[in-house]
Amino acid sequence: MSEIKYIVFTLGDQRYCTKLDKIKGIEQDYVIVPVPAGAENIKGIIHLREEVIPIYDIKQKFNMDDCNDGDKQILVAETHDMKIGIEVDSVLAIVSVDEKDIKPTPKVVMGDETGYLDGVVKIDNVGNFNAKADIVLSIGIDTIMSEEEFEAVIDSLDNSGEDLETEEEAVSDEAMFEETDEESISDETDEEETDDDGFEYVVEPEED
């Protein structure tokens, strides 16, 4: 029987996992820039290797309090032809799981708000994490955000790009004003004349 690789992580005092093939990297040195009036559950954006990546606030999605003021990590995932970052408290391990240890999510817990669950995985204690249960909920990267959330994320990224262009235009306008001032100064110096010996002098305005 074949195996599937999962990455196991923590949110608060709970373990979760997701399929490794959706994860493109793990980041721990980053700065999240908030996006004013951004999409729901989007914590902000990061600039990572020439890419702007939205950071999804999975704790807010799960209505969990964010009590961790320490170091966190970001799972960089690719879905729907775009990259998103999912901030987690810690990454515990990457594990290989037999297909027989992967069960579908019980229908009784499935609903409109839990469509992101794509299975229940049997995983023994990993990373010295004190877990009493040996089963872990698997989160589907492709379903963690609704279609409406994806559209809102794309719109917020477009708007943040427009804001950046506006800032660049403002800088350009400021430079233009500075150039205009220099031209005005240049025009004022045109009042100066040069005598036959090359000495510059200012033409005084005639008095009435």
Taking only the tens place, the pLDDT of each residue in 151-189 is: 877 776 666 554 434 444 444 444 444 554 444 434 544
Q: What percent of the chain has pLDDT over 90?
A: 34
Q: How far is CA 77 from CA 25, 57, 60, 176, 204, in A?
A: 7, 14, 18, 42, 72
Please state, in angstroms and rounded to a whole number, the distance separating the CA atoms of residues 49 and 74.
14
- Provide the edge-to-edge strand list for the sheet that holds 3-11: 90-98, 3-11, 14-19, 135-139, 117-122, 102-103
Q: Please tell me which residue, 97 or 174, carries the higher pLDDT value.
A: 97
Q: What is the mean pLDDT of the chain?
A: 76
- The mean pLDDT value for 99-118 works out to 81
Distance from C-alpha of 66 to C-alpha of 100, rounded to nearest angstrom: 34
Cβ 121 vs Cβ 136: under 8 Å:
yes
Dump pLDDT digits (tens) for 189-198. 444 444 454 4
Residues facing residue 4 across a β-bridge: 97
At residue 80 the predicted structure's pLDDT band, cuts being 50, 70 and 90, is confident
Query: Per residue in 36-60, pLDDT tens?
Result: 777 778 888 999 888 899 999 899 8
Residue 199 or 90, more confident? 90
pLDDT (average), residues 109-127: 79
For 11, the 3-state DSSP assignment is strand
17 band by pLDDT with thresholds 50, 70 and 90: very high
**What letter does residue 69 receive in the DSSP assignment?**
-
- Structure tokens belonging to residue 165: 């262009």
Distance CA 127, CA 148 (A): 36
* Domain 3-150 homologous superfamily, CATH: CheA-289, Domain 4 (2.40.50.180)
pLDDT at 42: 87
